[in-house]
């Protein structure tokens, strides 16, 4: 069978990010694997409630309905469940009419190893250890944090990113940590015309850009945004970096250290990715949020 996943945006997602599995996860933590397996089998005909990343997945898959020429996105399930206990998950996928056909069930061990052979651009999970393992292996990955915010009702898919240690490498963040704001500002002004190295999510932004490029700029189904703690004069290097990459970003907000939450709510992000946990804890009160445990802040 031929495969064209390398031509799509491919997102690998864990079952706990896609569905609300907290009840069964508590059984696992309190009573162990055997009790968990019995619980899932006994409840396999009960549809799972949706999880934090479910609306994002719906919008991603909706991009495939824009025309009948080809699929632009594929979502793949990779899960610590066994195939036996995973039947409830596939039953729920069918109930919600999600077009997810590929999956890996790893029977209790970390599933991140399957990110590479599935050619996934992004791995979303509720397990921080799996996410860190994926990042260490060179993949874009984020821990989906608990959040009770509702779905953004816009038809657009809106994805927001932090800059340093997410879209860009963490070299500037290391200068800030070691030398403070003055040293950071001086370094960024001196290097203003030198593009920043790419961070773990550069490829994700590039894949989104390729989809956007198929549509008129004023009628694209995806809108991207950068929300960064940077401010002038450290903004110039960011702008020149994106220009050098030839990657479009629709909105850029330079906050100069202000809290990001209200700005993200205003943008209407379907997901926001940030490397700093305190920023994520603020953001998840407003929008679905993925923590990217990468870079000097997470060492």
pLDDT tens across 194-205, in order? 999 999 999 999
Looking at domain 157-298, its CATH architecture is 3-Layer(aba) Sandwich (3.40)
Across the chain, what does the average pLDDT equal?
91
> Could you identify the residue written with the tokens 């002004």?
189
Residues annotated as catalytic (active site), given as ranges? 162
Q: What would the two tokens of residue 32 be?
A: 């162990």
Lowest mean pLDDT of 24-38, 162-176, 210-224, 278-292, name the range.
24-38
Read off the pLDDT band of 69 (50, 70, 90).
low
For the stretch 11-42, pLDDT in tens is: 999 999 999 988 877 877 787 777 888 888 88
Q: Are 158 and 268 in contact (CB under 8 A)?
A: yes
Residues 233-255: b if buried by 16+ CB within 10 A, e if exposed? ebbebbebbbeebebbbbebbbe
Q: How far apart are CA 267 and CA 182, in angstroms?
A: 30
Q: What is the CATH number of domain 5-143?
A: 3.40.50
Between 286 and 35, name the one with better pLDDT: 286
Domain extent listing, the chain = 5-143, 157-298
Q: What would the two tokens of residue 61 be?
A: 């898959």
Read off the pLDDT band of 68 (50, 70, 90).
low
* Fold match flag (5-143 vs 157-298): yes
């Amino acid at each position: 069978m031929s495969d064209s996943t390398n031509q799509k945006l491919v997102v690998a997602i864990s079952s706990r990010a896609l569905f609300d599995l907290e009840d069964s996860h508590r059984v696992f933590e309190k009573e162990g694997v055997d009790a968990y397996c019995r619980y899932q089998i006994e409840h396999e005909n009960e549809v799972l409630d949706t999880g934090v990343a479910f609306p994002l997945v719906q919008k991603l898959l909706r991009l495939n309905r824009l025309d009948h020429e080809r699929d632009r996105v594929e979502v793949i399930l990779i899960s610590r469940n066994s195939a036996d206990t995973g039947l409830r998950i596939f039953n729920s996928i069918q109930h919600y009419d999600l077009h997810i056909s590929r999956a890996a069930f790893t029977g209790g061990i970390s599933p991140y190893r399957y990110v590479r052979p599935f050619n996934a651009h992004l791995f979303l999970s509720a397990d921080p250890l799996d996410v860190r393992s994926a990042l260490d292996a060179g993949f874009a990955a984020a821990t989906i944090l608990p959040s009770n915010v509702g779905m953004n009702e816009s038809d657009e898919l809106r994805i927001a990113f932090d800059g340093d240690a997410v879209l860009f490498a963490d070299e500037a963040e290391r200068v800030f940590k070691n030398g403070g704001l003055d040293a950071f500002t001086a370094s960024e002004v001196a290097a203003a015309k030198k593009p920043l190295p790419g961070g773990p999510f550069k490829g994700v932004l590039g894949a989104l850009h390729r989809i956007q490029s198929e549509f008129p700029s004023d009628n694209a189904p995806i809108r991207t945004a950068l929300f960064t703690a940077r401010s002038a004069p450290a903004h110039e290097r960011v702008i020149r970096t994106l220009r050098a990459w030839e990657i479009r970003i629709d909105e850029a907000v330079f906050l100069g250290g202000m809290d990001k939450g209200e700005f993200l709510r205003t943008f209407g992000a379907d997901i926001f990715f940030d490397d700093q946990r305190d920023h994520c804890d603020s953001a998840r009160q407003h929008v679905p949020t993925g923590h990217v445990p990468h870079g000097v802040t997470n060492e």
